[in-house]
Each structure stands twice: as structure tokens, then as C-alpha cells.
Amino acid sequence: MEVVIVKDAKAGGELIADGIADLLRRKPDALLGVATGSTPIPIYDALVAQVSAGAVDASRARIAQLDEYVGLPAGHPESYRSTVLRQVVEPLGLSPEAFMGPDGSAEDVLAACEAYDTALAEAGGVDLQILGIGTDGHIGFNEPCSSLASRTRIKTLTEQTRVDNARFFDDDIEQVPHHVITQGIGTILEARHLVLLATGEGKAEAVAQTVEGPVAALVPASALQLHPHATVVVDEAAASKLKLADYFRHTFANKPAWQGI
């Protein structure tokens, strides 16, 4: 696992966007796994800026969704499908056909979960998966004590996660669904490169447990320690509880340029 400490969220977004741009130059039709929420927005903004400036061609890129609410009507503005289309697919100038995600409104949710795992495999697998992290250490919607071998499945959200997400629903927790479809940890770990961005002091404890704590289902993000190519990018506030912060700064400052992120 590589840990990169940056000045702020904007710097983190630009660093990760640079890595995505490098990937697209090597593999123009790369399958990019995207997360939602406020944390990854600087990544998408920086990538769109590069595409708009002609620094990279994203026209053949494909986009894969990490998770989706269960039960929201089709086209609901806070469904993750709508959010990804609005924040990523449309700004990059991609067609809806470039996008794939689980069907949270399916009549048979279990079958929809299995179908999405199959679709990801048939697409060749995710080349780079962007991740955020919850204050309790969850990734995707794999809440604490999720199986580290789990596949795409339905999960019940904790009340803390529903409270955290109420800001997207006019601060009305009653509008936040209780269930989601999420890629499981086992599914996430199949991506070729995992990139987690965390910003703000509120994520500091979760980051410390993820990076320096034991691998444990209680902190789902700690499973990234098992991945051969995982990058954790954190701002100074989110890095504030890392015991090895100075070491991480030193290793990144002396990293060979050819390694990339």
C-alpha cells in the first residue's frame, strides 16, 4: 500500500486525475470504477479539466458504478446512477452506453447483484477503482463487519451512514433509503488498481485504522492492505493520526518518477 499525503483536497484530486490520465494514455478504453459523495468531486473536476484542455482523450473510457440505493425511482436525482451521469459521464462527454451499474430498482435485487458481478467480469474487470471512506471505515457500502470475501450484494445501511448521507436529501434522514446494492469487498479487490481519497479531520481515525491497523472486518477499508496495487491519498487533516506520516512523506518525495501512482 502506498500512502500519499497532499496539501488539500484539490491537490489530491489533481494527483489522482493525473494517474487516471496516464492510464487512459496507455489503455484508452480503460474501465474506471467511480465512487459518489463529495470527496471524489475534485478528482472528476481535475480530470474533466484535462480532457477539456486536450491533455488526454477520454472518449473511449468506460465507467463502472460502485454502489446504488435500493428502491429509489428511476431517474431520482440522488440515485447514484443519476449522480455518476451528472458528475462524470456527461462532463467527460461520454455516451450513456459507456456506463454500467447495478439496477437498484430491479424486482429481483439478488439477481441484479449477481448480474452486475458477471457484467464487470465480462467487461474485462475494473482497471482503476476510485474509493472514498466512511467515518466508520466503510468502503462502498460495505459497513463494519462485512465479509472481506463478499461479492456484490444488498446491504442494510447503519444509522450513521444514513445520517452522513442525509445532506444529499435535504437533511431529511427519512428520505434516505435503508438498503443499497454495493460491490462487495471481494469484488472491489479484483480491480487492478485501488485509489482511495480521504480528506478532512473527520476521516483521520478511519484512515489510521485502514493504513496502520490490523486487517479486520470491523474496518472494511483495511482490506486494501491485501491488494498488490493500492494507493491511499490523504490531505494533512486526514493524515493527522498516522504514526508513520513522516515516513510516508519521505517515501513519496523520493519516489522514482517512472513509478507513477
Residues with catalytic function: 67, 136, 138, 143
What grid cell was written down for 32? 474506471
- How far is the C-alpha of 204 from the C-alpha of 172, rounded, in Å? 26
DSSP helix/strand/coil, 197: strand
Are 239 and 212 spatial neighbours (Cβ–Cβ below 8 Å)? no
- How far is the C-alpha of 132 from the C-alpha of 36, rounded, in Å? 8
Are 66 and 196 spatial neighbours (Cβ–Cβ below 8 Å)? no
Q: Supply the DSSP string of 178-192, one letter for each residue.
A: SEEEE--HHHHTTSS
Residue for grid cell 427519512? 174
- How far is the C-alpha of 239 from the C-alpha of 233, rounded, in Å? 9
Q: Using DSSP, how many helices (H) and how many strands (E) does the chain show? A: 8, 10
Question: Pick from 114, 104, 101: which is nearest to 66 by CA?
Answer: 101
In angstroms, what CA-CA distances link 108 with 80, 112, 202? Answer: 19, 6, 37
Tell me whether residue 179 is exposed, middle or buried, using C-beta atoms within 10 angstroms of its C-beta: 0 to 12, 13 to 18, 19 or more.
Answer: middle
What grid cell was written down for 25? 494514455
- How far is the C-alpha of 12 from the C-alpha of 236, rounded, in Å? 11
